Amino acid sequence: MIKKIFFQSIFFNFFFLREVFAAESGGMPQLNPEFWVSQIFWLIITFGILYIVLSKFILPKISSNLELRKSQIQENIETAEKQREISEIKLKEYDEIILKSKLEAKNIFKNAREKVIKEINLKKETLDKQIDEEISNAEEEIKTLKRDATDKINKIAIETSSDLLKKLIGTEINNSSISAIVDDLWKKNKDKYYGS
């Protein structure tokens, strides 16, 4: 079918062309030189006007528009980049501040702890000293008491023995002789009664 139409078209074409050949001398209107000069003239005028207006007025505008947009976009990108950098710096600063404050808090805590420990130690020391002093005082007292005790006991022994003798014998005996005996006894039995 398509082939048929194709052949038909060729046939019709020839038919038409023959008609045209019959009607005109040139066949194709394009080869008729009657209006060639007119076409050349109007082509030069229209194309010339088109070229001049486009190149002088319109194309520079489009070009500058494109450039402007390009530079604007570039600028925007640059500012965005700058803002990003600034925000990054801020973030870093913020992190640093947090780190610093954390460290500070740690330091404060540490200092306070040390202070408290020191105070506790100081108090402990003073208390120890006081206790030591009191202990030594008490020991000294005990020592003096110990020392005095023998004399007192000796005295009591002498007095009681002289009283006893007086009641037993009825006569008074010289105290010095009694004390001599008591001394003698005390020296002999010293270890027995008092320890070392």
Partner 1 sequence: MAANPMTQFEVYRIGPEIKIGTFDISFTNASLFMIVSSFAILFIFNLGSKKNSMIPNKIQLLAELSYSFVAKMISDTAGSKARPYFAFIFSLFMFVLFCNMFGMIPYTFTVTSHIIVTFMLAAFIFIGVTIIGFIKHGFGYLKLFVPSGVPIILLPLIVVIEIISYLSRPISLSVRLFANMMAGHTMMKVFGGFVVSLGIVGGWLPLSFSVALTGLEILVAFLQAYVFAILTCIYLNDALNLHH
Report the interface residues with partner 1, using CB under 8 A: 1, 5, 8-9, 12-13, 16-17, 19-20, 23, 27-32, 34-44, 46-47, 49-51, 53-55, 57-59, 61-66, 68-69, 72
Least distance in angstroms from the C-beta of 98 to partner 1 = 41
Least distance in angstroms from the C-beta of 82 to partner 1 = 20
For partner 1, the closer CB: 5 or 103:
5
Report residue 180 as tokens.
């001599």
Contact 178, 162 (CB under 8 A): yes
Contact 166, 173 (CB under 8 A): yes
For partner 1, the closer CB: 37 or 168:
37
For partner 1, the closer CB: 49 or 112:
49
CA angle 41/45/49 to nearest 5° reads 170
| Size of the chain, expressed as the number of residues it contains | 196
Contact 32, 26 (CB under 8 A): yes
Residue 27: how many CB atoms within 10 A of its CB? 14
Torsion sign over Cα 18, 19, 22, 23: negative
For partner 1, the closer CB: 51 or 109:
51
CA angle 64/68/70 to nearest 5° reads 115
Least distance in angstroms from the C-beta of 51 to partner 1 = 5
Contact 137, 154 (CB under 8 A): no
Least distance in angstroms from the C-beta of 67 to partner 1 = 10
For partner 1, the closer CB: 28 or 108:
28
Least distance in angstroms from the C-beta of 107 to partner 1 = 55
Residue 41: how many CB atoms within 10 A of its CB? 11
For partner 1, the closer CB: 4 or 187:
4
b vs e for 122-146, b when ≥16 Cβ sit within 10 Å of the residue's Cβ? eeeeeeeeeeeeeeeeeeeeeeeee
Least distance in angstroms from the C-beta of 79 to partner 1 = 15
